[in-house]
Amino acid sequence: MNARPTIVHAFRPARGWVPALVWVYAAGAAPASGAGESESGSDAVVIDRRSAVARASAQNPQVLAESADVLKAEAQLAQVDAAKHPEMNLTLGVVNSLAADNTDRDANGVQSRREAYGDFDFGQLRPGFVARLNVVQPLYTFGKISLRERAAEASGRAARAKTEITAADVAITVAELYESHLYAKELLLFVEDVKGVAGRSIQETQDRLDVGAFDVKKQDLLRLQFALGMAEVIENQAEAALAQTREGLRAYLAYAPGTQLELREDHLDPVSDAASVLEELIGLAREQRPELRALQQGIHAYEHLARAEHAGWFPNIFAMGFLSAAYTPDRDWIQSRYVVDPLGHFVAGALVGAQWKVQWDTASAKADEVESEAFRLRNLLAWAESGVPAEITRYHEDVHRARADIEQMKQTLPVTKEWVVRSTADFSAGFGDSREVTDAVQAYVTAKNAQLNAVYRLNLALAQLAKATGTLVNGPSFLYPGEPKAKP
């Protein structure tokens, strides 16, 4: 299970901000120049969404650790392949022996009447040198090797799919950090502008109070001071979020500590405007989703392995070549094809044979044990295939809702901004009180928050939809990070 970093949750788009943030754009003020932008040093690493996702899925230590299963599967496949080739068993040794020679010959051949240990003395001890070489080539094993080879191949494919799953999990966290960083940057731009306008409005109100102007009250100044204080609180949160998400990206992208990262984008914009059809996305998920491939290949691996265990009931047909030799000094060589002296001989030969190794019902029991794993994966696969349409529908609807919200805010945001401008103008002219201004400002802040939040939700939903369809890491990028935008 992958741990979700605390830094991801340190900054979240707020649903409700301070009721009266400040007199925003009261006089049509332009945003503060360069507000909220990080100054990139010459040694800073500039990243964009595409490079961030690609690097995270290739360089993150969690992904590299998961790829160890791929190496393990490759090693298992190599072991199975080695079992198809001849097995060589060579034994060399030195033993103690007694000097021996032929003492008699008659019509029956060579004989020796010297007792083995009757007249033993240490002067008769000699070193004996022995060697034995067996070479066994499997001819037919009733599937014990070929089925294990297929199981190892399927296991390797499952391990690669599991690596893709980990890469997608890492990539979705990187996407969340990336979008949160852009959200904080946009928020900092907004707050910097608000602070500038608020500061000027507070000074103007204070000057009018000092000369005793009848059209302003102390409450007007207090409302503005409260709004400025809350704006500074939000600014502190945004600055902390920038530092946290930047450091989180550095860690997830496996850059060395101290590396300065800068995002290529300056604004939080939708990553994709491409329309998508729900049924097509579900079909794409069934083809691309690594979780489905991992389960399918895992089932194949266990099924092949279970059949290989069942093959334990049958023998192994093999061919064997053997060579045995021994030599002891001061020991006569026996010139007979009927007798082999274990300490002085040279024998070579070959045979074709069958070998059984059966321990009651062990083969069936092992096969049932392996088949139980395949049973478990088959049920998990059934659940996954059933859940894919529901997951795709969830994120597809999130995308649809976020896009609808963005379109709505394109109409609402200018209206609330005009409301603020008219209310502040009336207040400055002495018509109405500050409550009309704060109501307008509250509406504008709410609308601005809704607009930023909708883009943020859209980009995250597109990233989740890409992960759910199996396209976030290795598939087409029309969902997230989106196709490269043409230069104007």
Work out the average pLDDT over 31-44: 44
Work out the average pLDDT over 446-464: 92
Residue 420: predicted pLDDT: 77
Above 90 in pLDDT, residue 331?
Answer: no
Above 70 in pLDDT, residue 12?
Answer: no
Above 60 in pLDDT, residue 111?
Answer: no
pTM, to two decimals: 0.78
Residue 443: predicted pLDDT: 79
**Where does the pLDDT of residue 142 fall: very low under 50, low under 70, confident under 90, or very high at 90 and above?**
very high
Residues in a beta bridge with 133: 90, 323
Above 50 in pLDDT, residue 257?
Answer: yes
Question: What backbone torsions phi and psi does residue 331 show, to the nearest 5 degrees?
Answer: -130, 115
> How many Cβ atoms from other residues are within 10 Å of residue 33's Cβ?
7
Percent of the chain with pLDDT over 70: 83
For the chain, give the number of residues.
488
Residue 349: predicted pLDDT: 92
Which residue's structure tokens are 């500074």?
232
- Give pLDDT tens digits for 410-452: 999 999 888 878 877 776 666 766 667 667 777 777 888 899 9
**Where does the pLDDT of residue 487 fall: very low under 50, low under 70, confident under 90, or very high at 90 and above?**
very low
Q: Where is average pLDDT lowest: 34-48, 215-229, 335-349?
A: 34-48
Q: Which two tokens stand for residue 286?
A: 């069934």
Above 90 in pLDDT, residue 406?
Answer: yes
More confidently predicted of 433 and 57:
57
- Give pLDDT tens digits for 159-185: 999 999 999 999 999 999 999 999 999
**Where does the pLDDT of residue 108 fall: very low under 50, low under 70, confident under 90, or very high at 90 and above?**
low
Residues in a beta bridge with 320: 136, 351
Give the span between the Cα atoms of 268 and 416, in whole angstroms.
21
Above 70 in pLDDT, residue 33?
Answer: no
Q: Which two tokens stand for residue 59?
A: 């360089």
Q: Which amino acid is at 351?
A: L
- What is the 3 state secondary structure string of the chain? CCCCCHHHHCCCCCCCCCCCCCCCCCCCCCCCCCCCCCCCCCCCEEECHHHHHHHHHHHCHHHHHHCHHHHHHHHHHHHHHHHCCCEEEEEEEEEEEECECCCEEECCEEECCCCCCCCCCHHHEEEEEEEEEEEEEEEECCCCCHHHHHHHHHHHHHHHHHHHHHHHHHHHHHHHHHHHHHHHHHHHHHHHHHHHHHHHHHHHHHHHHHCCCCCCCHHHHHHHHHHHHHHHHHHHHHHHHHHHHHHHHHHHCCCCCCCCEEECCCCCCCCCCCCCCHHHHHHHHHHHCHHHHHHHHHHHHHHHHHHHHHHHHCCEEEEEEEEEEEECCCECCCCCCCCCECCEEEEEEEEEEEECCCCCCHHHHHHHHHHHHHHHHHHHHHHHHHHHHHHHHHHHHHHHHHHHHHHHHHHHHHHHHHHHHHHHHHHHCCCCCHHHHHHHHHHHHHHHHHHHHHHHHHHHHHHHHHHHCCCCCCCCCCCCCCCCCCCC
